A and B are shown apart, each in its own frame.
Chain A
């Protein structure tokens, strides 16, 4: 008998279910290229999960499907298969498996993967998804919000952060939310329950930071610059997440010390 319904893989299956409509919409928007990238990335990730299962007895996780979908949604450019294989290997091994598998990682494996792709092969242009993709993310996001997997504080503060900085720069924030890649990244990468902050106040700070960085990195002279912005914003924010949590815990302790004696 498992320890209740809320097992680690219950959460990952929920995230998988939430990401499926977005995957279908991405394949519809970007064509078979995105599907090819997803399947290839999935095969590579499963391979590495099995290697670590065999060598370190680390349990495999269905989160591989979400990571693969993220690669298809946020990297639908003309990447050669070996480039996807390299990036997926890097992301899943360095971003996730060396830390002990999903749930113990510091950054989301998909973020590590995509950051590698963007840095290593900057020549490839990456189209951002349109409103169809954005709409397809909404039902999954609602489901995750209701089940509590996705923290509403993170989503709300990220949206506030993006709007604040966009308005500060004199741009229209609605452009960001009409872009499917941004909405997908906001829900599944920034809102990733593992890599984001865990304390209540920390979530507000983390989400605001991610949203502000997204707007700051994304707005260029020629308009809003696609998926790179969300990946790098998420990378920086999730690296700072443990620090934010530690700060919040220290501040809370200091606040309550006079009362607790």
Chain B
């Protein structure tokens, strides 16, 4: 039961992107189309799982003072392997993803799971936690990618859904959706929706405004 909660907890309740606001950089950069978002999600989930598993296995042998270096070395090696695999089997997509697969090394999400969870828990549950976080990240990326590709180009996975006006259809592509700010707007709206449904995620207010002058003297 606890294992199951470790797996599905991070998908919505403790989502790494919408609650912890981690991994935003890649969520902005690769979501202009669903296929790049999918490859990125798979790559991150694989790296996250393998990294957490490895670090958890050797957690008793890592000296505390150099643990971050060890963690990053392991993650970086995994990222290089993943990057090479993508270049070998999906070269065109790897060109479109440019440096973002390589930048998984610096993704706060991967390091935070290694440091906060895998260092203190046995391998099985660490792998489940990593899988849950990877799926949570993937879910957000797929939603953002879906909205951006559909409204920005009228396609899904490169297949035409709405025929654009240039090709004789009716759909006017929203160029804004292909620019980075739109990902921020979609993420913001998504966080708004999630926190409306689950008010437990709302942070405490930093300060309370005084009532307006008119209301005070009424």
Contact = CB atoms under 8 A, between A and B. Distances in A.
Interface of A: 1-4, 7-8, 80, 83, 90, 94, 98, 100, 104, 116, 119-122
A99 to B, nearest CB: 11
Nearest to A98: B192
Interface stretch (B18-26, B96-104, B173-181): B173-181
B216 interface: yes
B203 interface: no
Contact of A8 (B174, B177, B214, B218): B214
B53 to A, nearest CB: 41
Count class of interface residues, chain B? 10 to 19
Given A80-B172, A83-B172, A116-B176, 18 more contacts: A1-B217, A2-B217, A2-B218, A3-B216, A3-B217, A4-B213, A90-B185, A94-B185, A119-B175, A119-B176, A119-B179, A119-B181, A120-B174, A120-B176, A120-B177, A121-B172, A121-B175, A122-B175
A3 B176 contact: no
Given A94-B185, A119-B179, A3 B213 contact: yes
A98 B188 CA distance: 11
A36 to B, nearest CB: 19
Provide the main secondary structure of the chain B interface: helix
Contacts of A121: 172, 175
A46 to B, nearest CB: 21
B212 interface: yes
A1 B216 CA distance: 10
A233 to B, nearest CB: 17
B188 to A, nearest CB: 8
Contacts of A116: 176
A80 B171 CA distance: 12
Nearest to B216: A3
Contacts of B176: 116, 119-120
Contacts of B209: 100, 104
12 contacts: A1-B218, A2-B218, A8-B213, A83-B172, A94-B188, A100-B209, A104-B209, A119-B176, A119-B179, A120-B174, A120-B177, A121-B175
Contacts of B218: 1-2
Contacts of A4: 213
Contacts of A3: 213-214, 216-217
Contacts of A8: 212-214
Contacts of A122: 175
Nearest to A94: B185
Contacts of B188: 94
Nearest to A82: B172
Contact of A120 (B175, B212, B213, B216): B175
A7 B217 CA distance: 12
Nearest to B174: A120
B159 to A, nearest CB: 23
A122 B181 CA distance: 16
A2 B214 contact: yes
A13 to B, nearest CB: 14
Interface string B181-218: 10001001000100000000000000001001110111
A107 to B, nearest CB: 13
Contacts of B213: 3-4, 7-8
Interface string B98-141: 00000000000000000000000000000000000000000000
A116 B184 CA distance: 14
A7 B216 CA distance: 12
A231 B192 CA distance: 27
A133 to B, nearest CB: 28
